[in-house]
């Protein structure tokens, strides 16, 4: 494989991390890309916070990496909320960013976040319990993070939730529309302000996504339950947290790969069933960036 001109920066989603007790968020992906010669840097932003706060943190990481590597630009690959975070950074500093790639990004909002809005009213005891649990998990991730040496990052559960609802993402998109399609389910501009935009996403595929051990694995089961109860507009056309059309950004290389929201980044432990190979998609995309002169 020919390697991209610029470093690849991997941006995690909600409750994201670099490594927790040595266990990586981007399971097998960083190793595969580095084995093919790419410069790869998984970065940490707040596990639970607004897209804008996470985006400002990402800009700091990019500035540090530009100084560290001497690269004028970087490629941003964001999973889930990490895609919105990457979009924010590219909109603010397009001269620092060669491309943004959205991997299962809720670029038009998450119907699951909307469902939680309806199910747990703001200020209710249910909402307070869910928020408290999210806060505990986020703080735990921070305590056991082993891939980041900087200061403790802030947490704001309410701000994170607002950033992922359809209403919250619509407000975000009004300010940062780069790469968004003009029509629902369409493709967006391939390049804006010198930044290339790409995306891919998955759809839970019965008999494939849940095949073998995935049928009983907790993360896969959670995604299947969310897909069944949390979606109205894209029922049967989602990965459990994000709908296929909601994921579209820039050039769409596929929106129905056989992944749930976590197996698209090879989680957990590479147990992704017998469908598409998430690691291969990242390696192929690195080749694609090289072929584009990036």
Q: Which residues are marked as active site?
A: 80, 239, 261
For the chain, percent helix, then strand, then coil, each to nearest 5? Answer: 40, 15, 45
Q: What is the dihedral of CA 218, 272, 14, 88, to 10 degrees?
A: -170
Q: Which two tokens stand for residue 214?
A: 């995935």
Helix, strand, or coil (residue 262): coil
**What whole-number distance in Å separates Cα of residue 73 and Cα of residue 4?**
11
Region of 113 (left: φ > 0; alpha: ψ -120 to 50; beta: rest) is alpha
In eight-state DSSP terms, residue 147 is S
Q: Largest Cα–Cα distance of the chain, in whole Å?
A: 54
Structure tokens at 292: 């584009």
- Cα–Cα distance between 188 and 249 in angstroms, integer? 5
The string of DSSP codes covering 183-238 is STT--B-SEETTEEEEEE-B---TTTTT-GGGGT-HHHHHHHHHHHHS-STTTTSB
Neighbours of 211 (CB within 10 A): 16
């Amino acid at each position: 494989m020919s390697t991209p001109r610029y470093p690849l920066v991997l941006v995690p989603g909600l409750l994201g991390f670099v490594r927790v007790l040595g266990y990586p968020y981007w399971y097998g992906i960083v190793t595969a890309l580095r084995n093919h010669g790419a410069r790869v840097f998984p970065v940490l932003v707040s596990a639970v916070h607004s897209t804008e706060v996470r985006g400002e943190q990402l800009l700091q990481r990019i500035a540090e990496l530009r100084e560290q590597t001497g690269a004028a630009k970087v490629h941003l690959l964001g999973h889930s909320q990490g895609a919105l975070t990457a979009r924010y950074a590219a909109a603010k500093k397009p001269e620092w960013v060669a491309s943004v790639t959205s991997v299962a990004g809720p670029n038009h909002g998450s119907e699951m976040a909307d469902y939680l809005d309806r199910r747990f009213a703001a200020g209710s005891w249910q909402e307070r319990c869910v928020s408290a649990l999210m806060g505990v998990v986020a703080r735990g991730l921070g305590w056991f993070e082993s891939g980041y040496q900087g200061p403790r990052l802030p947490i704001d559960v309410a701000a994170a939730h607002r950033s992922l609802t359809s209403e919250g993402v619509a407000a975000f998109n009004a300010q940062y529309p780069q790469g968004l399609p003009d029509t629902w389910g369409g493709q967006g501009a391939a390049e804006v302000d010198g930044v290339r935009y790409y995306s891919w996403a998955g759809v839970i595929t019965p008999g494939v996504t849940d095949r073998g051990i995935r049928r009983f694995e907790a993360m896969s089961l959670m995604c299947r339950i969310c897909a069944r109860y949390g979606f109205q507009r894209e029922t049967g056309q989602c990965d459990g947290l994000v709908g296929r059309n909601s994921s579209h950004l820039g050039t769409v290389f596929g929106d129905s790969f056989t992944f749930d929201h976590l197996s698209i980044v090879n989680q957990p432990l590479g147990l992704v069933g017998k469908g598409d190979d998430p690691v291969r998609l990242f390696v192929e995309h690195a080749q694609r960036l090289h072929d584009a002169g990036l």
